[in-house]
Chains A and B, each alone.
Chain A
Amino acid sequence: MTGYEPVIGLEIHVQLATATKMFCGCALSFGEPPNTRTCPTCLGLPGTLPLANERAIHFGLMIGLALESTLAPRSIFHRKNYFYPDLPKGYQISQYDEPLCAGGRLGDVRIHRVHLEEDAAKLVHAGSSGRIHGSDSSVVDFNRGGTPLAEIVTEPDVRSAAQAREWLTLLRTTLRSLGVSDVNMEEGSLRCDANISIRPIGTQGLGTKTELKNMNSFRFIERGINAEVARQIALVQAGEAVEQETLHFDPRTEAITSLRSKEQAHDYRYFPEPDLVPIAITDAMLAAARAAMPELPAAREERLAGLGITRADAHQLAMRTELGDYFEAALAAAAAPEPQALANWVCNELVARVQEQDPADSNVAPDALAKLVSLVAGKAVTIGNAKIALDHLVSDGGDPAAIIEAEGLGAMGGGDGALAPLVEAALAANADATEKIRAGNMKAIGAIIGHVMRETKGRADGSEVTRIVREKLGV
C-alpha cells in the first residue's frame, strides 16, 4: 500500500440459538413487545441468582471443536463490573482468565480464545442523535438482556480488510453449519469488533492498536477497517502517534470518532463469580458435543474439490451452505449428472436466477436441475435452449424434459438427416464465409452456425453443424 501493513485481530460476539437465556429460564426474544421476556433474575432483582445454561455450554464446546480449540476441563465465570442502564446487575457475567476454550485455528487465522457470557439489554434513546449523549430520555428493553453469547477472539493474524471479510464469511458459515446461531449481522446475532494497528512492511513488532466497535455488516467491516488503516497511516506519515482508543465507525459518513481514550478505559474489576460453580466438562458432555458436529465448510470444500470440480466452485458451494446442500441433493438424483457440469449450472446459472434466495425454496427441484444437466450432456438440448428451459423451471417449476418438448427446445442432431439441408442452404447463402472456410479459415464457420441457429431457433447442435460443414467442404 504505502510501505505499511495492517495488523488486525477480530472479536466476534455470537448470540447462541438456545431456547432460553444464559442464566435464567426466559425464552429468547425475537421482536416481542419490550420487557415481556423477563424474570426477576434477568432484571437483576435483589436476591436472584444465575443458573448456567447447559445448552449454551454445549454450543460453546461445539464452537471450540470447530475452531480446533483446547477445551478447558474446568472453566469459571467472572464478573465484569461497570455501570450502565443496559446492565441490570451492574456487572456482566463473563469469563476472564479461565475461558471455556483456548487457542485454535480457522482457515488462515489462529484463535486466541472462546468464552461464554450474557448479552446486555437494549437501550432506546429518544431525541435526534440516537445515542445516549444529547438524547432527551432513554428507555431500556430487557428482552435481549441475558441472551447467551459466545465471544470468539482471534490472534492478530489478519492483514487486510478484504481478508477480514473473507475470514468472517468462513466463520459465519462454520457457525451456521453448527446450528449454534442465526449469525445474522443486521439483527445483531453476529457482531464484530476489530483491533487494528499498522507496521512497516517487513517488520514483526506490533504498533499501538485501536479498537473499532460493533460494525454490523460485512461491508461496513471492510470499509471501517480500510478507513481506520488509512487514518493510522496518515497519522504516522504526518509524524504523529496513533493513540490507543476505542473508536466508532459511522457507515453513512465513513467518519471515525473516539468513544473513549486509554485514560477513560474502564477498570472492570474482574473477580470470580461467587454465585456460580465452575463449569466442569464431563466425558459425556464432550461426547455429546462431538456427536453433534456436522461436516464443517472447510472439510466440505476439500471433499467437493475431490470430486473434480474447480476450487472456486467448491469454495462457493462450501461457503454458501444452502447452495452446497442443493448441489449435493442434485448430485444424488437419479439423473446422475457429471459433477463439474452440475457445479457450473448451480454456481452460475441457478445463482444468477435465484440470487441470495435459498435454491431449495425456489421452483427448481434438485432432481429437475440434475435432469436438465444430463439432457445437455446427452446432447438432447443445446446449452442455450437449456438456459431457456431453466427460466421456465424458475418461474413455474416442472419437469425439464416436458418443458423442452412443449416449448420445442429439443436439439436437432445429425442422426435424422434434418440438419444437412439446412447447412447446405446456409453455405449457399453465405458465399463469403464458405470461401474462407475452404481456404482454411475455420473462424468463418461462426457465420454458418449462426445462420443455422437462427433457422432452427437455437435447437441445432453447434458441433454437429461443424461436422457437417467439414464433411461438405472437405476441410
Chain B
Amino acid sequence: MSVADLTALTAAAAVAAIERGELDAGELFGAYREAAAADDLNAYLWVAGEAPEPAAPGAPLAGVPLAVKDLFCTEGVPSQAGSKILEGYRPPYTASVVARLASAGAPLLGKTNQDEFAMGSSNENSAFGPVRNPWDRMRVPGGSSGGSAAAVAAGSAPWALGTDTGGSIRQPAALCGIVGMKPTYGTVSRYGMIAFASSLDQAGPLTRDVTDAALLLRHMVGRDERDSTSVDFPAARKRQLAAGKSVIDLPSRESLKGIRLGVPEELTAGAEGIEAGVLASFDATLKLAEGLGAIVETCRLPHAPHALSAYYVLAPAEASSNLARYDGVRYGLRVDDAGDLVQLYTGTRSQGFGAEVKRRIMLGTYSLSSGYYDAYYGRAQRVRTKIADDFRTVFASFDFVVTPTAPTVAFELGALTADPLAMYLNDYCTVPMSLAGIPAISIPSGLSEGLPVGFQLAGPAFSENAILDAAFALERAIGFDAAAGRTV
C-alpha cells in the first residue's frame, strides 16, 4: 500500500485492519513518520526518528501512532510548550496520559506545534513559527492545539492529543474540519502536562471522526494517583468489574429521538460577531438534528456573556503563578550576562517569553495583587460559580447545549495579531463550558466560504458517552467531506 492508502484509514479502521492481520503496524508507523517528516504546515516540532517497539500482543490500539501536543512531557524528547524559554528541554519523565496511551498501543509519532504555553487561538504565538491551515495555507489552524489539529486534518497523523483551557482543542478542530473533544475536568490526568491554568487545563483527543475520539478517550480517562484532582467516572469501577467493559463506549446511535437540544441565545443569534456563514451552518445542523428526532429549543445561559471576562482574569492569574518556575535557575533558557539574581530573572524571562505570555503574566500578577484580589480574582470566581449554576439549570430541562464552536471560520495569518481582544473573542462560545468544567465536543458541520465550520455539543459532567453518541448520529447525517483538507 502507498503512504496515501495507509494514511487514509481512520485510527479505528487501522486498529481493526491490524487486528485482522491485513495491515502491519510497523508499516503504518513508517507511512505516518514519512508523512509527518514531509509536513510543510509547520505542524510538528519533533518527529520520531525510528520505529517504536511493536505494541504488546492484544494492545487495544494495536500500534496506531499518536501525535502529541508539545506541552505533554515525553521522556528524552523535546517538550517545549511552544516556548523559547523551554527550547531543547527534554524531561526526565513522561506525562501520565501519554504513558497510558503508549501502553495501550499508541506510540509517539511526533510532538506538535502550539501557541506558547497554550496561550492563543491561532498558533501564531508559537516561538517556533505559526502553523498553516491545510484547507488554506494563508490561514491559521486555530489554537492553541493548532499543530495537532492541522496534522490530523492534513492526514499526517491518524489522531492527536491536545489540551483545552478555554477552547484550545475545540476551536482548532472547528477551524481544521476535524473532531475535537474536551472531557469533563478531572477525568484525564494532568500529570506531565506543562500547565497554563491548572483549574481549567484538560487533555482531549483531536481525531478524524467521532468514533476515533471515543476510542482514544477510552484509553485516556481514569484516576491517576499522581494527580489528586483527577477522578474516575462515577460508577465506572463497578461497571468495569461487572461487565469487563470500558468506561467510554464506541458510539453507535443513529437517531436523536427525544433528545432535547438547548440553543442558548447568548451564544448564538443573540451574540455579536458570529459570522453569517457560521450561523447558517449551525442552523442547518439544527434542522438535521430535528430530522433525526431531536427537540430543539432556545435556552438561557444568562451569565455566559461574562464568561470571557472571568476567564481572562482567572486563567492569567493561575498562569502568572504556574510560569514563575521558568527563572533560568534549573532548566531551559538562561541569559549568560546576568550580573546578579534579579538580572538573571528579568533577562531570562524577558528573552524567553513571547509577547502574549508576558501580557497574561502581567494581567494575572495584577489581578492577584493585594488590594485587587477581591475586585478581580474573587469576583471572577463568583462569575464562574454562576456560569456553572446556569448550566445545571439548563441541563434540568435539556440533554445538551449546542452552539457554533467558533464565531468565524479560519482567518488569515496576521489578521488578528495586532488586536488581542478580537483574538480572545474566538473563545466566546467555548470558554463557558471550560469554566463549568463540563465536557464538550466540536464536530465539523459543513463549510462556509469553502472553510470548515464547527458545531459544539456540551453536556453535564461525565456525560461523555451521551455526547459521543449524539455527535456520532449528527456526524452521519452531516456527511462532512474532509478530503479538501488532506495533504497526504
Interface residues, chain A, with chain B CB atoms under 8 Å away: 40, 43-52, 79, 81, 83, 85, 88-91, 132, 140, 267, 269-271, 274-277
Contact = CB atoms under 8 A, between A and B. Distances in A.
B377 interface: yes
A41 to B, nearest CB: 9
A45 B93 CA distance: 10
A267 B369 CA distance: 7
Contacts of B409: none
Given A275-B228, A276-B228, A44 B369 contact: no
A47 B91 CA distance: 9
B102 interface: no
26 contacts: A40-B92, A45-B73, A45-B91, A46-B73, A46-B79, A46-B195, A46-B325, A46-B331, A47-B72, A47-B193, A47-B194, A47-B195, A48-B191, A48-B192, A49-B229, A50-B228, A51-B225, A81-B324, A83-B327, A88-B330, A90-B327, A267-B369, A271-B318, A274-B198, A274-B318, A277-B229
Nearest to A276: B228
A49 B73 CA distance: 13
Most buried by B among A40, A49, A90: A49
Given A40-B93, A47-B79, 14 more contacts: A45-B92, A46-B73, A46-B331, A47-B71, A47-B91, A48-B192, A79-B321, A83-B345, A85-B327, A132-B341, A267-B370, A269-B368, A269-B369, A274-B198
Nearest to A44: B325
B132 interface: no
A91 B321 contact: yes
A269 B95 CA distance: 29
B370 A140 contact: no
A276 B329 contact: no
B227 interface: yes
Give chain A's interface secondary structure class: loop
B301 to A, nearest CB: 24
Interface of B: 71-73, 79, 81, 86, 89, 91-93, 95, 190-195, 197-199, 225-229, 317-318, 320-321, 323-325, 327, 329-331, 341, 345, 365, 368-370, 373, 377
Contacts of A270: 368, 373
Given A90-B327, A274-B318, A277-B228, A46 B93 contact: no
Most buried by B among A132, A267, A269: A269
Going nearest first, the 4 A-B pairs with the smallest beta carbon separation are A90-B324, A269-B368, A274-B198, A274-B199
Contacts of A44: 325, 330
B456 to A, nearest CB: 25
Contacts of B190: 49, 275
Contacts of B73: 45-47
A46 B327 contact: no
A277 to B, nearest CB: 5
A90 B228 contact: no
B331 A45 contact: yes
A177 B321 CA distance: 39
Contacts of B79: 46-47
B178 to A, nearest CB: 26
Contacts of A83: 324, 327, 345
A40 B321 contact: no
B86 A90 contact: no
Given A49-B226, A83-B345, A89 B191 contact: no
A90 B198 CA distance: 15
Contacts of A43: 330
A46 B81 contact: yes
B373 to A, nearest CB: 8
Contact of A47 (B191, B317, B368): B191
Contact of A85 (B93, B318, B329): B329
A357 B93 CA distance: 48
Contacts of B226: 49, 51
